[in-house]
Amino acid sequence: MDQGLLTYLQMFITDRRKGLFKAALASRTRHFTVVTEDVYQLHNTSAVMRSCDVFGVQDLHVVEAQLGKRVDREIAMGAQKWVDIYRHQNTISCLNKLKSEGYAIAATTPNGNAIDLHDYDIGQKTAFVFGTETEGVSPEVLQQADFCVKIPMYGFTESLNISVSAAIILHDVVTRMRLSDLAWGLSDQDKWAIELQWTKANIKGVDQIIERYHQQQKDQ
């Protein structure tokens, strides 16, 4: 951790921006994460990314086994600068990575033996997986999932748009998490790394500035 580098780079951003970074980091979490699996409509993944940022979820995992994507910057509205995006070529490798990091896998589906969202235990470190717009999560996700979760619905419609579903689920679980006694915040090391990342993203010509910093360190 080169705290000196962060201090040096923050000379190039405003005090207001530094304050915004600190406030956002205090509300960020990796207790929950989100996975989108081969979502066809680009704006849906981008909207999910925006929801992650809004509700303080730091990581978004994107499985792109069938279709390569790019971030829809207009829909994301800058969220790609604040949310860490991890891209995976297949579902199994993504889920295995998340399980190795201690996440329970929650398949989001209105069908089968899915538990209602309000019955979900927020104490579990969880990755919520959202599938395609037409077919939902894949059989691989259902086989690998620790449990399934659904949004209670009381009308005739049996499903919601993926970006709407993600926003509803994140709002519910993050609100309950913040009201709990869980240690859901980022570690000091994670906060430092993300603050450095955000600072770099907000400085024009940052590579040259970093190079100048390292040269100054050598000359001392």
Domain boundaries, the chain: 1-28+189-220, 30-185
pTM, full prediction: 0.90
Quick check: 99 pLDDT over 70?
Answer: yes
Tokens 């303080």, located at residue = 56
- Kindly report the CA angle at 181 between 62 and 34, in degrees rounded to 5? 5
Structure tokens at 13: 């951003």
Of 70 and 210, more confident: 210
pLDDT in tens, 113-165: 899 999 999 999 999 999 876 778 889 999 999 999 999 988 877 778 888 99
Quick check: 40 pLDDT over 70?
Answer: no
Looking at the chain, how many residues does it have?
A: 220
- CATH number for the domain formed by residue range(s) 30-185: 3.40.1280.10
Instruction: State the Cα–Cα distance between residues 185 and 53, nearest whole angstrom.
Output: 15
Q: How many CB atoms within 10 Å of residue 20?
A: 13
